[in-house]
Amino acid sequence: MNPDERQKGADTGEQQAHARIAAALARLVKPDAVAVPHPYLTRHLAHHAALGEALDDSHVPPGLLPWVSADGVRGLLGLSHARRTNREWLTAWAAIEPYVQDADLPSRCSSLHLAYTALRFPGVPRQDLPQEAAEFAGSRLCVLWSQWAPPSNVLATLSRRSLSLATAEGPGGAQLLVVGGELGGIELIDTATGTPVGDRIPAHDGDVRCLFFVAHSTGDGALVSGSTDGTVRVWDTARGTLLDHMTFGGRTWTAAVTGYRDDAGTLTVAGVDGSGSVKLWREHSEELHLADMSAHPMEQAAFALGLAVGPGGRQLLVGAGRTLKVWDTADHRLLHEYPVGAPVRCLAETTVPGWIATGHSDGSITLWDTASGLQAIFRGEGEPVTALAALRIDDSDLLATAGSGSTIDLWDMDARQRIGQLTGHTESVTALHTISAGDCDRLASTARDNTVRLWDTPAIRHAIRGTATAPAAVAAAITPESVATPLLAVNYSTAQTQVWDTLTGAVTGSFGRDSKHASSALSWAPEHEGRRLLLWAASDHSIRSWDPVRGVAAGVLLKGHSRPIRTLASAAACDGRRLAISGDDYTVRLWDLDRERLLQQWRHPYTVRTVAAASDGVSADWFASGSADGTVRLWAATDPAPKKVLPCRQGIINALAINTGTSPLPPFLASGGDDHTVCLWDLRTLEPIGERLRGHTAAVEAIATWTTSADVARSYVASSSSDGTIRVWDATTSCCVLQLATGTPVHTLSVRPSGASVNKVVLAMAGAAGVAVLELDLEDPSPMK
C-alpha cells in the first residue's frame, strides 16, 4: 500500500469513528427540547457529525438544536459533504440561527418550530400536519398555515450598519469576512460558521468606509481601513492591534484604500482622500505624496482607488477622478491616463487580467483595459453605482453591482448585458465583496438592513436563470373579532390581493389591483348589517372596496387624497363606523363609512407614516397618527386640531396600535419608531407607561396589541422590526416574553382572539418572505427548564 492509500485509509477510519461517536451521542439526546442535554452534547455533537459526514437530523436530533452552543450549524452544513436528505430540521435551524443567538429557550424553540413548518410544509393547514410539525415541545406557538420562506443565506446579523467589506486570513488559516461599520467599528466574522472572531475593534472616530486586506506568504496579513475621520490605519488581524496609521491633512475623509507588497515583501498602503490627494505609506519609510487627482466637474468629491495586474504580472495602481490614472507600483511612474465620462463612485479589479471596472453616479458601469483604455460601457437604471465586485461563475466573467436599491445586479462582461438580479436584502445594499475558494466564487453583501449575506454558486445561477420566486406580501389584515369565520386579506407585490380562511389557509377569493404599487393600505370595514367589505387604496388615491361574499368589487367609496395613500385604520366608533386614512399629502382624513362622507381633514407639518383607530364602543373613540417628526398626534372626530401631541422622540414613527382593554392596564397606545424602541402611552392621562421596550436592533415596522380574557388578564404588545425578528412584550412588566425569528422584515401584524382558548391569540404576519398565521399561547403553564 502506497503512502497516499494509507493516508486515505486513515482519513476514512477517522471519519467513520466520528460518525460512530455522533450516533452514540445522539442516543443520549432526549426526545424533546425541554430536557437539558449534557454540555458535551451541546458543544460537540454537531461537530462530530460533520467530521463523520453524518450531519443529518438523526445524528443531530431536533431536540438538541435549541441548545447548540459551539460551532454554528449553518457553517457545518456548508462544510460537510454528506448527502442532502434528512436535513429538514437542520436546514430550518440554519435559517434562523443568526437571529436567536441571545434568545431564551422558548424563543429558540418557537423560532425553530416556525421555520421547520414553514420550510417543510408550506400551505399545509395544521390539522393535516404530522405530529412533529403540529407540536414541538418548548414552543409557544403552532402554525395554522404558512406561505413563508425565511432566507437561508444570512451569514450574520449586526448591531450596527455595515458600510464596507473585505476578506482576511484568520488564525489557523480560517477565512474571515471583515466588516467596517458606522461609528468606527470593525468586526471579523468566520465565513464558515457566521460567528464573530474576537471582539469588535474600535478602529476609527468616524464611519469605516473602505477596507482592504493585504496577504503575506508567512500568514502575517495586514488589514487597511479608511474612515470619514480622515485617517488610514493598518491592523494586525491576528491580534487586532494597530500597526501604524496615515493622516490626510485638512478637514477631509478617506475615499478609498488599497495595499500590496513589493518583491521584497515590504508592505505599501495607498489611500485617496475626498480632495483627490493620493498618498503612500511604506513600512519603515516616510509617507509619500504620489499625486493630486483632479475632480470630475460634475462631482467634486468622487474619487476611487484600486489595483490591477498588468503585463507580465506587473502590479498596477489605478486611481479615478476626472481621469483614470494607471501607475506602476514598482517605481510609481504614471503609465497611462484616460478621460472619464461620469463621476466614479467605486472601482474594482475584474477576473480578466489587466481589466478593471468602475461604477458611476449616472448608473453606468465602465470596463477598462489598463493598457489601452475604455473597452465597454454598461447602461444601468440611472441610480448611482456605489458597490462593485467581480466574480467568475461557470467560466463566465461577471460583475455584481449595487446602488441605492435592495437588489444586486449581475452583468456578463462578454455579453455586455445584465443577466440577472439577486434579491433578498430588504434595504439598500452598502457593500459587495467576492470570496474566492478554489474554483468556486461566492459573493458577500451587506445592507442597511444590518445583515451580512452570502450568495453561493447555486444562488447566482438561480438569479441568472430568472427562476420565479414567491411574491412578497406587503400587507395583511384580519377581519374584526365580531366576525365568526375570520378572513385574512393579503396584498402582494404582484398587484394581487388574496383572501384566505384564517384558520385553514384556504383561498376564498382574489382580485387584481389596478397598479403594481406596493400599497400597505388595507383594512376590513367593521361589519354592517351582516356585510363585510375589504377596503384598499387604488393608484388614483381613492379607497375602493371588495365584497368577499359575492367575490366582486363594490366600486369606489372615498376620494380626496392627492398623493399616494400609506395606511388605513377602521373602527366601530360610538356613533358609527369610521375610517382614518393617511397619505403622502401630509394629511389624515377621517370618514364616516355609513354615510360615505368626510368628517375631518387633519393636517401635519411632516409626512404621516401610520394611523390607528379604536373605540370602546360605549363612550370613547381614539384616532392617532404617527409622523416623520417623531411625534404622535391624538385627534377627536369633532375637532380639526389635535387633542394632544405626544413627543415620542423615537425618530420616524412607523407603527401604531391601540389597546382598548381595561385590565390590567388602562386603554393605551403603542408607538414604534426608527430608534428601535416601542413606547406605551396611557390614553387617559396621556403619560408614558413604564420603560421603553428595548431589544430590537433596527427600526420597528409594525405593532399589534391584545389583552387575554383569562382569570388574570394580561396585555401584550407584538412588534416586528427590520432586524428579522418579532418580539412579544408583557405590557405590564415591559419584559420581552418571546423573541421570534422571522429571518426577514415583517411589514404588518394582525391579531384576533383564538376560539381554542381564552389565553390564545391568532397572529398573522406578512412580509418579504410571504405570509404566516400562528396561534400563540404565551401563558402555557408547562415548565421550561
Query: pLDDT of 652-693, one tens digit each?
Result: 999 999 999 767 889 999 999 999 999 999 999 999 999 999
Q: According to the model, what pLDDT value does residue 144 have?
A: 95
pLDDT at 213 over 70: yes
Q: Given the DSSP bridges, would you call strands 222-227 and 735-741 parallel, antiparallel or unpaired?
A: unpaired
Contact 100, 107 (CB under 8 A): yes
Helices 105-120 + 88-96 axis angle, to 10: 120
CATH code given to domain 161-382: 2.130.10.10
**Average pLDDT over all residues of the chain:** 87
- For 687-715, write each residue's pLDDT tens digit: 999 999 999 988 999 999 999 876 778 89
Residue 446 C-alpha cell reads as 451587506
* Cβ-based neighbour number of residue 264 at 10 Å: 5
Cis amide leading into 783 (omega within 30)? no
Question: What sign does the CA torsion over 682, 686, 689, 692 have?
Answer: positive
Distance CA 141, CA 616 (A): 29
Residue 575: beta bridge partners?
none
Cα separation, 369 vs 373, in Å, equals: 5
SS3 category, 22: helix
Rounded Cα distance, 264 and 283, in Å: 12
Residue type at 448 in one-letter notation? R
Q: Compute φ and ψ for 445, nearest 5 degrees.
A: -145, 155
- Higher-confidence residue of 197 and 77: namely 197
Residues 140 and 778: their CA atoms lie apart, in Å, by 6
Q: Could you give the CA distance from residue 208 to residue 254 in angstroms, rounded to a whole number?
A: 9
Burial class (CB in 10 A: 0-12, 13-18, 19+), 328: middle
Task: With a cut of 70, say whether residue 621 has pLDDT above it.
Answer: yes
Q: Is-contact 255 346, C-beta < 8 A?
A: no
- Give the whole-angstrom CA distance, residue 45 versus residue 31: 15
Q: How far apart are CA 317 and CA 390, in angstroms?
A: 17
Residue 159 half-sphere exposure, CB side, CA atoms within 13 Å? 9
Q: What would the pLDDT profile of 509-541 be if each residue is shown by its tens digit?
A: 888 876 655 566 889 998 877 778 899 888 888
Cβ neighbours of residue 322 under 8 Å, at least 6 residues apart?
293, 294, 295, 296, 297, 339, 340
Q: What is the DSSP string of 381-432?
A: -SS---EEEEEEETTEEEEEEE-SSS-EEEEETTTTEEEEEE---SS-EEEE
The per-residue pLDDT for range 150-194, each reduced to its tens digit, is: 777 888 878 788 999 999 987 777 789 999 999 899 999 888 777
Q: What is the rounded CA–CA span in Å between residue 625 and residue 653? A: 9
Which CATH number is associated with domain 473-777?
2.130.10.10
Q: Is the pLDDT of residue 26 over 70?
A: yes
Supply 571's cell numbers. 373602527
Q: Cell match 444586486: residue?
A: 408
**Matching fold, domains 161-382 and 473-777:** yes
pLDDT of residue 80: 46
What are the boundaries of each domain within the chain? 12-103, 161-382, 386-468, 473-777
Output the pLDDT for position 558.
83
Weakest mean pLDDT among 65-79, 365-379, 427-441, 564-578: 65-79
DSSP 99-124: G-TT--HHHHHHHHHHHHHHHHSTT-
Long-range CB pairs of 774-778 (<8 Å, 24+ gap) are 774/114, 774/141, 774/142, 774/143, 774/144, 775/126, 775/141, 775/142, 775/144, 776/140, 776/141, 776/728, 776/738, 777/140, 777/141, 778/140, 778/714, 778/716, 778/728, 778/737, 778/738
Residue that the C-alpha cell 414553514 belongs to: 118
Q: What is the mean pLDDT of residues 435-464?
A: 86
The helix (run of H) or strand (run of E) holding residue 269 is: strand 267-273
Global confidence as pTM = 0.77
